Amino acid sequence: MRILFWSDTFYPSIGGVEVFAARLIPALRRRGHELLVISRRQHESHEPESCMHGTRVYRFPFTEALGSGRPARILRLCKELARIKRDFRPDLVHCNSLVASTLFHVRTAASAPVVPSLLSMHGNLEGLDTSARSVTGQAIRSAKRINCCSRAILADLVGAVPEVESRTSVIYYGLDPAPAPPAPRPSEPRLLCLGRLVREKGFDLALDAFSLLSVAFPGAHLTIAGDGPAAGELAQQAVGLGLRDRVRFTGWVAPADIATLLDACSLLIVPSRWREAFGLVALEAALRERPVVASGVGGLAEAIEDGVTGILVANEDSRALAEGVVSLLRRPSEADALGRRARERALRRFSWARCVDAYEALYREVLGE
């Protein structure tokens, strides 16, 4: 089938949504589908047209056109998009984003050929206008099917737009294990936080928790891996807590290095404040047999089975986070068992092949096959 894939942000941008799209597209192409990607040009270095694994990728300065205050720029862009759609002749449109540029998807939905659309929800709708007057609400209501990356996101969607419930589904993300088997967990307490350094990820809570347990575990170290606007504040916080020598900031981490980073840790902390859509990082840790201590918010409660593959604690509670970590540090054999069960569960429930199979089946359903 021919799939027009809208993804506002796309590789080489790195994030859960972008990585998902960049992996799904070549996987579908290998199964014989034709795809075309329309995304946002986020940087001058991004080519307006390029080819990724045999799939044409168009990038447009969507938000710049929308923010220009010049309706003609928006109109010309709509016409260019309509031309691309007309030339490609998709069987369906898969919209992978729900952001400002979704206006262009909504505007071109009626241009020939008119085809059914699938909307993927990768984030919660908190604070968004979902009324029928909004772009967000129109993209949701006009989709033939809406897939959510977790039950938490589904609940959020149905709460906001109940009338679409019968058209919804959940397909979890999938990951394949790295070829090398997981390394044994280090015997010394090596704690890891991994993700974008933004307030919502709650890494400041992990620092507070680490401060609470650092006296009882003088050999413990914390690594905070990732980059983002909160980097400076977090570094200052570590100094302020007297933990400069025991907290390491790695900066940006290449996706290929994540397995090595996880192998070097004894457990992962995911202290997110916001309702994570799923918590892909927990799945990464599971595949390396690392237990996770996480706030039990959003999709994290699905990525982690509390007491079986990790420990879920109350949100925004650094003391509870510290207690969860300490309970595993004091019982390494239990931590090992959680890690093993996490990997078994990840291989069973969250394989990449299962994810691609499910999307392929959903496309067929959208087309009424």
Partner 1 sequence: MNVGSADALSPNEQEAVAEVIDNEAIIIRVSDGVYYSLDKTGGFIWQLIQQNGKVSDIVDAVTRCYGIPQQQAHADVLRLAEELVRERLVCVSPNAGPNAPPAALPAAPAGATAYETPRLNVYSDMSDLLALDPPAPGMSDLAWGPTDTEPAPAGTARTEPA
d(Cα 160, Cα 154) in Å, to the nearest integer? 10
Closer of 56 and 167 to partner 1 (Cβ)? 56
3-state secondary structure of 191: strand
Residue from 14, 19, 52, 100 in contact with partner 1 (CB under 8 A)? 100
60 binds partner 1 (CB under 8 A): yes
- Measured N-to-C along each axis, helices 352-366 and 16-30 cross at an angle, to the nearest 10 degrees, of 70
Candidates 97-105, 204-212, 256-264, 355-363; binding stretch for partner 1 (CB under 8 A): 97-105
For the residues of 122-189, what is the DSSP string, one character each? -S--TT---STTSHHHHHHHH-SEEEESSHHHHHHHHHH-GGGGGGEEE-----PPPSSPPPPPPSS-
Stretch that binds partner 1, among 123-131, 163-171, 227-235, 237-245 (CB under 8 A): 123-131
Residue 90 interacts with partner 1 (CB under 8 A)? no
For partner 1, the binding residue among 14, 19, 52, 66 (CB under 8 A) is 66
The Cα–Cα gap between 43 and 100 comes to: 17
Query: Is 350 one of the binding residues for partner 1 (CB under 8 A)?
Result: no
Q: Of 84 and 268, which CB lies nearer to partner 1 in the complex structure? A: 84
Q: Which of 74, 253, 264, 358 binds partner 1 (CB under 8 A)?
A: 74
Nearer to partner 1, 48 or 219 (CB): 48
| Residue 10 binds to partner 1 (criterion: CB under 8 A) | no
The minimum distance between CB 133 and partner 1, in angstroms, equals 4
* 236 binding partner 1? (CB under 8 A): no
- Strand order of the sheet with strand 117-121? 49-52, 55-60, 34-40, 2-7, 92-95, 117-121, 145-148, 168-170
Q: Going by C-beta distance under 8 Å and a sequence separation of 6 or more, which residues neighbour residue 301?
A: 152, 312
Contact flag: residue 52 with partner 1 (CB under 8 A):
no
Cβ–Cβ < 8 Å for 296, 270: no
Which of 129, 233, 334, 344 touches partner 1 (CB under 8 A)?
129
76, 244, 319, 330: which one contacts partner 1 (CB under 8 A)?
Answer: 76
69 binds partner 1 (CB under 8 A): yes
75 touching partner 1, by CB under 8 A: yes
Which residue stretch of 21-29, 61-69, 246-254, 340-348 sits at the interface with partner 1 (rule: CB under 8 A)?
61-69
Residues 6+ positions from 131 with CB-CB distance below 8 Å: 137
Residue 109 engages partner 1 in binding (rule: CB under 8 A): no
Nearer to partner 1, 65 or 262 (CB): 65
Residue 312, φ and ψ in degrees, nearest 5:
-105, 135
- Rounded CA separation 127/130 (Å): 9
In the set 68, 114, 216, 353, which binds partner 1 (CB under 8 A)?
68
For residue 7, what are the β-bridge partners? 39
State yes or no: residue 133 binds partner 1 (CB under 8 A). yes
Evaluate whether 35 touches 44 at the Cβ level (below 8 Å): no
Tokens of 59: 């990038």
Q: Is 114 in the site for partner 1 (CB under 8 A)?
A: no
Token pair of 360, please?
A: 């392929």
Q: How many residues does the chain have?
A: 369
Note the residues at the interface with partner 1 (CB under 8 A): 8, 41-44, 48-49, 51, 56, 59-61, 63-64, 66-80, 99-100, 102-103, 106-107, 110, 127-129, 131, 133-138
